[in-house]
Amino acid sequence: MKKRLAVLTSGGDAPGMNAAIRAVVRAGLHLGYDVVGIHEGYKGLLSANCRLLTARDVGGIIQQGGTILGSARCPEFKLDSGVQQARTVLEAAEIRGLVVIGGNGSQTGAAALAATGFPVVGIASTIDNDLLGTEISIGVDSALNVALEAIDRIKITASSHHRAFLVEVMGRNCGYLALAAGIAGGAEAIVMPEIEMEPQVVIDLFREAYQRGKSHAIGVVAEGAPYNAAKLAQYCNAQKDHVGFDLRVVTLGHVQRGGAPGGFDRLLATRFGVAAIECLDQDVTGVLVGLQKGQIVSTPYALVSGKTKGIDQSLVRMIGMLDA
């Protein structure tokens, strides 16, 4: 029997996961491995819900959002007993190495499995962009583009009605999507968990935009900020006269996770997938594959797992420099 590797997707899905699965399977086959697809993340791993994948099985998916393997959250895997059970399942299936495509929680789980001595390689994949060890994760660029399209559309109706909008974006506890969407979407206010900001500041920014004669104002709000969009709206509406504009709220939610991956994510996912297989092939394990300074790198889990990337200060410093 050929040496056997496996791949799973875990946590919140991200556009580009399928492209990563495809690359893992095809690069694995290319190097002479059999590749098993595990369904529904760690949940499927614990119940041995898996099947061998052929090159054809992953045909026609590079352009598809979501994950053909399915994803899940699995509380049992957070326990030592869950990790041990996963190892037993993998050994019983004669799997010699595992690729985990997922976000921060999934990579913490992967690190726990790797700590038992099982060969694991992670692929950074989350729209939150909160993983250390990579400047950008699979899905971030596509999710950002969805948020930007929404903001562009909202601006049009906002201008027609002289309104301000609070647009809430995902990111869990990380403000990256809000920061990037706020800057690239030309927002008047950006609210994120990493930067302390009194809600009054948002009112002031909207009011200043109103007084400068703008026909609309946009505030991009991270869902993880202490004042999310709903709380901020409540605060602002209590001082309606000070805002200037009439106010509306839009929560983008899971719309950002759906849809097709763009070219950047397809390419990134393909590069990550091939690199992950090369790591397993070269016995470089217990690492997370990511992108740094344009290069694909693998960073030991000891340096990245269980941690959260800080906000990009080079972006933060531009807020306030771009007002009109």
Binding residues for ligand F6P, total number by CB under 6 A: 11
Q: Does 290 bind ligand ADP (CB under 6 A)?
A: no
Minimum Å gap between C-beta 209 and ligand F6P is 28
Report the alpha-carbon distance of residue 186 to residue 273 in Å, rounded: 34
9 scored as a contact of ligand ADP (CB under 6 A): no
Which residue type occupies 93?
A
**CB distance 121 to 298 below 8 Å:** yes
Q: How far apart are CA 261 and CA 259, in angstroms?
A: 7
Q: Tell me whether residue 74 or residue 233 sits nearer to ligand ADP (CB atom).
A: 74
Q: Which of 13, 57, 80, 128 is catalytic?
A: 128
Binding to ligand F6P (CB under 6 A) within 259-288 occurs at none
Contact assessment for residue 21 and residue 7, using Cβ atoms and an 8 Å cutoff: yes
Under rule CB under 6 A, which residues in 111-130 are in contact with ligand F6P?
126-128
The answer to whether residue 15 forms part of the interface with ligand F6P (CB under 6 A) is no
Instruction: In whole angstroms, give the CA distance from residue 239 to residue 8.
Output: 49
What is the closest distance, in whole angstroms, from the C-beta atom of residue 223 to ligand F6P in the complex? 6
Q: What is the DSSP string of 12-24?
A: S--TTHHHHHHHH
| Residue 78 touches which member of ligand ADP, ligand F6P, none, C-beta under 5-8 Å by kind | ligand ADP
> How far is it, in rounded angstroms, from Cα 232 to Cα 167?
11
Q: Applying CB under 6 A, does 291 fall inside the site for ligand F6P?
A: no
- What's the burial of 79, exposed, middle or buried (CB within 10 Å: 0-12/13-18/19+)? exposed
Q: Is 74 in the site for ligand ADP (CB under 6 A)?
A: yes
| Binding footprint of ligand ADP on the chain (CB under 6 A) | 10-12, 42, 73-74, 77-78, 102-106, 108-109, 112, 126
